[in-house]
Amino acid sequence: MLFTLLPVLSVFSRILLAFAPAFLVPLAWAWFLDAQHHALVWAYGFAFTTVCGLVLWRSTHRFRRELQAKDGFLLVNLVWMLLPAFAAAPLMFTVPDITWTKAYFEAMSALTATGATALSGLDALPVSVNVWRCFLQLLGGLGIMLLVVAVLPLLGLGGVQLYRAETPGPMKDTKFTPRISETARGLWGVYVLFSVACMLAYRWAGMGWADAFMHMCTTMGLGGFSSHDASFGYWDSPRIEAVATVFMALAGVSFMRYFIVLRQRSLRPLTRDREIRTYVSVLVVSILLVAVLLTAQGVIPDFPEALRTSAFHVVSVATTTGYASTDYAQWPVFAPVLLMFLGCFVSCAGSTGGGIKLVRMVLLIKQARRELVRIVHPRVVNPVTLGGAIMPNSVMTAVFGYMLIYGAATMGLTMLLLFTGLDIVTAFSAVVATVNNIGPGLGEVGPASNFGVLSDFQIWVCTFAMLLGRLELLTVLVLFTGHFWRK
């Protein structure tokens, strides 16, 4: 067991070293905007992480070897479990009255691009702390993108083989490093491009530079942290909400596609794709539905106004971002539940969003339709197709296996929270909000409140749920099987 761990640790140490400079970003902000002792905290964070990385690298360096699939699982888990710990440490010294549970939750929420917060009084925090929280989401987004586009398909779980066909670069190479670095360069290029555009748009719409930077980070990562307790309600500006809506909707699609679009200089890969068409139509229909409901029930009597509010919240929750400009939990109960439900599956495969992913949903619906045909014509051969390609049964069973575990995990974690005495709406929505990396739930953890009201145990359950959801469940759960550790 230790022997399998050592080569993985060696890679991890390099990731840690690469992660360390991230502390310089809040350091820079603290230098100009905060008190001196805050800047010191980030400097210590940088030093501590670097030293840990170096020590680890030094001691595991001689065990380096080419990583196998099994090592890949370990590595992914290690990264998403340990990096939040390093990221959480500075919070302990900068945020008043914070516990380690909350700090780790906050960092996990950031790095998984969830956006659930356990902190209140955000407006009063030092700027550098908010910058750090938000910047972590941008980093999380980068990591996730790499994970879903390059790493998970290689590990072949839950039918993610599907996404593989879309990735550019040398496909036949099954070794990790060359493919991943190839993919990463292209993806990150597009990501940075969009990020800059997003930040400028926010600035243009009326945010200050600091807010524009922070909200750009959390928009592009589909995270949803904000530097204000009231989130986007702080500005109440149609223009800012419009910018956010557009960029969230854009980020809900795999950046891979934009990469391809840029390379081929043609929009066809976007417009002709089944998943993206479904994505757009689901969003448009939901926005209209909620807007009509809000007008009809008299919550927002003015229809254009209702449309604007509806568009912002539907896109925000459906893409698993989790911004809010009003307390939508107060809307007629259908609306918030619909939003949460959309959050479970709307974001596209390969995006930084969480949940089931739309492509899986499309496959599942096709399979259900196939069953209906089979009842009438038992002997008919009607394989499920996607974009003209026939889906092999093994992919279908893998997708279903994922769904099963997804359902079971949601159910099981909800039960666990109920067991601790939470009411059903809060428990269920907290789990849905964290497993799908959405952010705010309903009830006690609704958009007007935060996860800080939960007990320590409940917060840990939610932390685990975020990790599970982000790593597509199987990656984490496989570690608990006997098979994995057997020689």
Partner 1 sequence: MFMPLLRVFPVLGAIVMVFSLTLLVPWTVSWWSQDGAQGAYLPAVAVALVVGLLLRCAVFKVGRKVELQTRDGILLVGLVWTLLPLLACLPLLLYFGQTAQPISVTDAYFEAMSGLTTTGSTVITGLDALPGSINLWRCFLQWLGGMGILVLAVAILPMLGVGGSQLFRAEATGPMKDAKLTPRITETAKGLWTVYCVLSVACVLGYWLGGMSALDAWAHMFTTMSLGGLSTHDSSFGFFQSPTLEWVAIVFMLVASCNFALYFVAFAKRQPARIWRDTEWRGTMGLLLGASVFVAGLLLVKGTMTDPLETLRVALFNVISIGSTTGFATVDYTTWPVFAPLFMIMLSGVATSAGSTGAGIKMARVLILLKQARREMSRIIHPRAVYPVHLGGHVVQTGTLLSVLGFMLVYGGTIIGLTMLLLLSDLPFDTAFSAVVASVNNMGPGLNEVGPAGNFQGLTDFQTWVCTLAMLLGRLEMLSFLVLFTPGFWRK
Cα(284)–Cα(53) distance, integer angstroms = 47
Helices (H), 326-392: 334-345, 358-376
Q: Considering only residues 118 through 177, tell me which ones interact with partner 1, judged by CB under 8 A.
A: 155-158
Task: Give the CA distances from residue 181 to residues 165, 470, 475, in Å, rounded to whole numbers and listed in that order.
Answer: 17, 21, 21
Cα(113)–Cα(478) distance, integer angstroms = 22
Which candidate, 428, 430, 424, places its Cα nearest to that of 460? 430
* 457 interacts with partner 1 by CB under 8 A: no
Out of 51, 333, 390, 453, name the contact with partner 1 by CB under 8 A: 333
155 or 283: whose CB is closer to partner 1? 155
Which one-letter DSSP state was computed for residue 234?
G
* 375 interacts with partner 1 by CB under 8 A: yes
160 or 311: whose CB is closer to partner 1? 160
* 285 interacts with partner 1 by CB under 8 A: no
Cα(77)–Cα(259) distance, integer angstroms = 28
Interface with partner 1 (CB under 8 A), residue total 54
Distance between start and end Cα atoms, the chain:
9
Out of 2, 124, 267, 368, name the contact with partner 1 by CB under 8 A: 368
Q: How many helices (H) and strands (E) does the chain have?
A: 22, 2
Binding mask 218-247 for partner 1 (x = CB under 8 A): ------------------------------
Six token digits for residue 144: 């996730």
* Contact call for residues 349 and 275 (beta carbons, < 8 A): yes
* 419 interacts with partner 1 by CB under 8 A: yes
* 438 interacts with partner 1 by CB under 8 A: no
233 or 401: whose CB is closer to partner 1? 401
Q: How far is the CB of 69 from partner 1 (least distance, A)?
A: 8
Q: How far is the CB of 238 from partner 1 (least distance, A)?
A: 28
Out of 127, 150, 318, 425, name the contact with partner 1 by CB under 8 A: 425
* 190 interacts with partner 1 by CB under 8 A: no
* 373 interacts with partner 1 by CB under 8 A: yes
269 or 401: whose CB is closer to partner 1? 401
Residue 135's CB is within 10 A of a number of other CB atoms, namely: 24
18 or 285: whose CB is closer to partner 1? 285
* 455 interacts with partner 1 by CB under 8 A: no
Task: Give the CA distances from residue 144 to residues 138, 148, 223, 266, 325, in Å, rounded to whole numbers and listed in that order.
Answer: 10, 6, 11, 26, 26
Q: How far is the CB of 292 from partner 1 (least distance, A)?
A: 11
Six token digits for residue 155: 């590990």
Cα(411)–Cα(424) distance, integer angstroms = 12
Q: How far is the CB of 2 from partner 1 (least distance, A)?
A: 19
Residue 477's CB is within 10 A of a number of other CB atoms, namely: 16
Exposure of 485 by Cβ count < 10 A (0-12 exposed, 13-18 middle, 19+ buried)?
exposed
185 or 374: whose CB is closer to partner 1? 374
Q: How far is the CB of 333 from partner 1 (least distance, A)?
A: 5
Helices (H), 95-208: 100-111, 127-146, 152-155, 161-164, 176-205
Helices (H), 265-353: 268-271, 274-296, 303-318, 334-345
Q: How far is the CB of 160 from partner 1 (least distance, A)?
A: 11
* 484 interacts with partner 1 by CB under 8 A: yes
85 or 333: whose CB is closer to partner 1? 333
* 372 interacts with partner 1 by CB under 8 A: yes
- The CA-based angle 315-319-325, given to 5 degrees, is 45
* 2 interacts with partner 1 by CB under 8 A: no
* 77 interacts with partner 1 by CB under 8 A: no
* 332 interacts with partner 1 by CB under 8 A: yes
Task: Give the CA distances from residue 233 to residues 11, 237, 332, 342, 479, in Å, rounded to whole numbers and listed in that order.
Answer: 43, 8, 19, 22, 42
55 or 404: whose CB is closer to partner 1? 404
CB under 8 A: which stretch of 242-250, 333-341, 349-357, 460-468 binds partner 1?
333-341
Q: Please compute Rg for the chain using Cα positions.
A: 22
* 423 interacts with partner 1 by CB under 8 A: yes
The binding site for partner 1 (CB under 8 A) comprises 69-70, 73, 155-158, 293, 332-334, 337-338, 341, 364, 367-368, 370-378, 393, 396-398, 400-405, 407-408, 411, 415, 418-419, 421-425, 442, 474, 477-478, 481, 483-484
